[in-house]
Amino acid sequence: MQGLHLTADLFDCAAARDLLLDRGVLQAACLQRVRAAALTVVGDDFHQFGDVSGQPGGVTGLVLLAESHLAVHTWPELNAVTLDVYVCNFQHDNSSKAQSLIDSLVALFEPARSHRNCLLRGAPQSTDVSDTPPPAMEWLTPNVVHGFTQRHSPATIRTPVQRLAWHDTHALGRLFTLDGAFMASEGDEFIYHECLVHVPALTHGNPTSAFIMGGGDGCTARELLRYPGLGRIVVAELDEAVVTSCREQFALINRGALDDPRVEVRIGDALATLREYEARYDLIVMDLTDPGTDASPANALYSRETYALIRSRLTASGQVTLHIGSAFYHAERFARTLADLRHVFPEVAAYKAFMPAYGCEWGLACAGLQGSPARLSTADVEQGMARHGLHGLRFYSPRVHASLFAWPVYAEVLGA
């Protein structure tokens, strides 16, 4: 059973569409490459899926090898392919053949991006481990991955917008991901949400209205509800499934904030909602997923045009806050976001906090037409917290506030 197991996830494939749609074309291509790799075919089966919502279905194929197997799955609706090659090394070392096969298949589909993994199986010198699921992992950059062990396999929901998964981790408790990116965990979300809300709210001084872009987990709304004077909070969440799932799975964390009478949940595009309704807000909180690949629904939300629209919807003392990634790992995005904000707003301040779920010191920014959180003294923060009755916070405090704006030199040169 000793052997090599190789997998590859292929994205934005440029190969001829027949390879993703036609059972016969894919079958012939796979068999040809298996034989070219000097592996032995003992059987094969390829299944053509029917149309889904008027769109052609993909193909699942299995090639049985004397050495083990090849499995391939095409996803034409995503222009993606998954590959799985396993060879045993019982009498001969077939590792180079397996590598040759998967290399040729990757080249066949011409992906713009690919994620490849390699696993040595059945090594007799390996230590015994309990039968636990693999860790929940996130790629912080194409070269950096971090993750957490979990008690059982995640519960996954495929929504019309994205893939939502709930993980039960040992270190941070319940944690949910969107398209594989860590969003929030019950163990440390308070760090992010307290910083995201109280820095701009205390900078404004007396907010009475707020608009949340995203925020379907309800935690930003929970922190805003601490302010007695905030009579109206609008949550504009693109994905209704996030709201529904977090109402159930995160109820103890968000404390039912999405069902508070001061909170209005609107399902749909946040930018469209801002354009349609010309109401002005004291606070606008961009509680969104990160910008990412070309397919990321959040990409259009991080732009000068978006910031200009937000500016037009803020009151004279209004503040917008958002997260801007890691100055260490996401230097280009970090610098570009701050530069774009400064193109639109006269007051921009960058701040940060270490987030265990994100595996690094995470940057945020606060911007407005007047007032800066970086100029608030410890006494100012103390007085503001007392005026609004902010008790029971777990991270943010007057002393912590000052530390949020102390950046290392490598971040200062990026605009922090």
pLDDT in tens, 341-362: 999 999 999 999 999 999 999 9
Q: What is residue 367's predicted lDDT score, i.e. its pLDDT? A: 98
Q: How many domains does the chain have?
A: 2
pLDDT, one tens digit per residue, over 286-330 is: 999 887 555 566 777 899 999 999 999 999 999 999 999 999 999
Mean pLDDT for all residues in the chain: 93
Q: What is residue 130's predicted lDDT score, i.e. its pLDDT? A: 57
Q: Which of 81, 96, 123 is the last residue of a domain?
A: 123
The whole-number average pLDDT for the span 24-32 is 96
Q: What is residue 62's predicted lDDT score, i.e. its pLDDT? A: 97
More confident residue, 367 or 124: 367
Q: What is residue 294's predicted lDDT score, i.e. its pLDDT? A: 52
User: Three-state SS string across 175-221, please?
Assistant: EEEECCEEEEECCCHHHHHHHHHHHHHHHHCCCCEEEEEECCCCHHH
Residue 165, domain member (yes or no): no
Residue 309 and residue 207 in one domain: yes
Residue 231, domain member (yes or no): yes
In the predicted structure, residue 126 carries a pLDDT above the cut 60 = no
Q: What is residue 89's predicted lDDT score, i.e. its pLDDT? A: 81
pLDDT band at 251 (very low <50, low <70, confident <90, very high): very high
The whole-number average pLDDT for the span 106-120 is 90
Q: How far apart are CA 232 and CA 215, in angstroms?
A: 15
Residue 22's domain comprises: 3-123
Q: Which of 100, 123, 146 is the last residue of a domain?
A: 123
pLDDT band at 386 (very low <50, low <70, confident <90, very high): very high
Q: What is residue 306's predicted lDDT score, i.e. its pLDDT? A: 96
In the predicted structure, residue 132 carries a pLDDT above the cut 80 = no
pLDDT, one tens digit per residue, over 139-185 is: 888 889 899 999 988 898 989 988 899 999 999 999 999 988 999 99
Residue 167, domain member (yes or no): no
Residue 198 and residue 107 in one domain: no
Residues forming a β-bridge with 71: 62, 84
Residue 214 and residue 287 in one domain: yes
For Cα atoms 89, 94, 96, give the angle at the middle one, nearest 5 degrees: 140
Residue 272 and residue 351 in one domain: yes
The whole-number average pLDDT for the span 254-273 is 96
Of 287, 290, 294, 340, catalytic: 287
Q: How far apart are CA 65 and CA 105, in angstroms?
A: 16
Most confident of 120-134, 224-238, 279-293: 224-238
Residue 339, domain member (yes or no): yes
Residue 154, domain member (yes or no): no
Residue 195 and residue 343 in one domain: yes
Decide: pTM greater than 0.85.
Answer: no
Pairing type for strands 232-237 and 209-214 reads: parallel
Cβ neighbours of 159 (radius 10 Å): 15
Instruction: Considering only CA atoms, give the Rg of the chain.
Output: 25
Residue 116, domain member (yes or no): yes
Identify the CATH number of the domain in which residue 107 sits: 3.60.90.10
Residue 189 and residue 284 in one domain: yes
Q: Which of 70, 102, 123 is the last residue of a domain?
A: 123
287 is catalytic: yes
Q: CA neighbours within 13 Å on the CB side: how many for 119?
A: 12
Residue 403 tokens read as 């530390």
Identify the CATH number of the domain in which residue 285 sits: 3.40.50.150
pLDDT band at 125 (very low <50, low <70, confident <90, very high): low
Residues forming a β-bridge with 46: 61
Q: What is residue 127's predicted lDDT score, i.e. its pLDDT? A: 54
Residue 195 and residue 94 in one domain: no
In the predicted structure, residue 90 carries a pLDDT above the cut 80 = no
Q: How far apart are CA 173 and CA 390, in angstroms?
A: 26
Report the percent of the chain where pLDDT is more than 70.
96
3-class DSSP state for residue 375?
Answer: helix
Residue 380 and residue 235 in one domain: yes
Residue 137, domain member (yes or no): no
Residue 105, domain member (yes or no): yes
In the predicted structure, residue 199 carries a pLDDT above the cut 80 = yes
Taking Cα atoms as reference points, which of 384, 359, 351, 393 lies closest to residue 190? 393
Cβ neighbours of 177 (radius 10 Å): 22
